[in-house]
Amino acid sequence: MKGLHGIIFAYERRGDLQELGSIRSSASIPFGGRFRAVDFALSNLVNAGATDVGIILHGHYQSLLDHLGTGKDWDLSRKRGGLRLLPPFNYRGDWGAMPYRGHIEAMTAVRSYLEGIRQDYVVMMDGDLVANLPVQEIYESHVKSGADITVVCANDSFMTEDGTYFQVGEGGRITEVFIHPHTPRGLRGLGTYIVSKKLLLELVDDCAAKDQISWRADVLQARRDTLKIQSYIWKGYAAQIRSVQEYYDRSMQLLDPAIRADLFNARRPIRAKNADLSSTYVGADGRCVNSLFGDGCSIEGVVENSILFPGVTVESGAVVRNCVIFKECVIRKDAQLSYIIADKDVEVLEGRTLMGHATYPIVLSKGSKV
């Protein structure tokens, strides 16, 4: 049938995310004051009319499962199709003895699911991509160009952990692929690909028969001459959440109205799970500038250049500057924080002072009491 099918890859473990990534997959990292990273890929797909989306998981996916539920927040709770969760079969409670070593290996593990895809085209996306991609437009350009595979690139060579970079030749065709380079060359790949279901199955089977595991090395790089691999260049905001520094820098960019206008484009809304919290309240002595606030915060102190998730309390006299504060954290009286990323349910006690730096933001792990 016509239309798009989404596959989101959420199995990768990113060690550079430190405590933020050790308890959850990078796809379920909170981002932007009320979202999780995976909300962006899901919303991009749903906004392009996709009704069926599979999510490939591995290790520490409880947080992601809690977030996704039945998929109703993205209109993906359907009688036919909808959200399909694809956990590994060898899950052992931790990251597992063998996380998938590449997208091909991951897709081989769920081959029967691939076979059941009802749509003619498949959009592959990374769960840690934060962008508002016009997937419908990318799909149209894929069909029009007659390409075998379309890869989505950012218009930059920004260094990202475990990045993929593409050299683009005449007419937008991919001429070279660099995987995980020390110094980026070419355009930064956004881990987003469009391919027909038929070709995808052929490629997965062919690679499996040759004991090949990597989509990037064994398909994109090895077959760049035999397949027509076309680029689609996205000029808007695109963050890949793979290290603490990247997380911090990309979060702070949201304080720029132009970037928010791009990422939160009202024509392609980013949907997220809803918490039933009241309005955010700023008290008589509260002073909030240049900051984002989720629902249900209560602010009696000072908040500057920061991003607060829902239900954060900042008591009087407390000062929060250049911080990212996750859900339900409590910053007690007269505490001072700057350049801190506080994970869920952190409590900073009265009068404490914590300082990181713009180039070294400090992570407070989930539930810790300072």
Q: In the numeric block, which tokens belong to residue 105?
A: 């290996």
Q: How far is the CB of 351 from other proteins (least distance, A)?
A: 24
Range 248-256 contact pairs with CB under 8 angstroms and sequence separation of 24 or more: 248/324, 248/339, 248/341, 248/358, 248/361, 250/31, 250/130, 251/31, 251/32, 251/307, 251/324, 252/305, 252/307, 252/322, 254/32, 254/33, 254/292, 254/307, 255/290, 255/291, 255/292, 255/305, 255/307
Residue 190 tokens, joined? 């956004």
Give the nearest distance from C-beta 40 to other proteins in angstroms: 12
Which residues make up the interface to other proteins (CB under 8 A)?
Answer: 32-34, 72, 255, 257, 260, 263-264, 269-272, 274, 276-296, 298, 307-308
The CB-of-343 to other proteins minimum distance in angstroms stands at 18
- Contact criterion met (CB below 8 Å) for 255 and 262: no
Tokens encoding 15: 């060690």
User: Is the Cβ of residue 184 or residue 317 nearer to other proteins in the bound state?
Assistant: 317
* Smaller CB separation from other proteins, 211 or 276: 276
Tell the smallest beta-carbon distance from residue 294 to other proteins (Å).
5
Give 102 or 294: the residue with its C-beta nearer to other proteins: 294
Give the Cα separation of 297 and 167 in Å (integer). 46
| Residue at 329: amino acid letter | C
**Residue closer to other proteins, measured from CB, 255 or 354:** 255
CB of 284 to other proteins, least distance (A): 5
Least separation in angstroms between residue 328's CB and other proteins is 10
- Cβ 153 vs Cβ 234: under 8 Å: yes
Q: Cα(230)–Cα(245) distance, rounded to whole angstroms?
A: 31
Half-sphere exposure of 205 (CA within 13 A, CB side): 9
Nearer to other proteins, 50 or 204 (CB): 50
Q: Which is nearer to other proteins, 155 or 274 (CB)?
A: 274
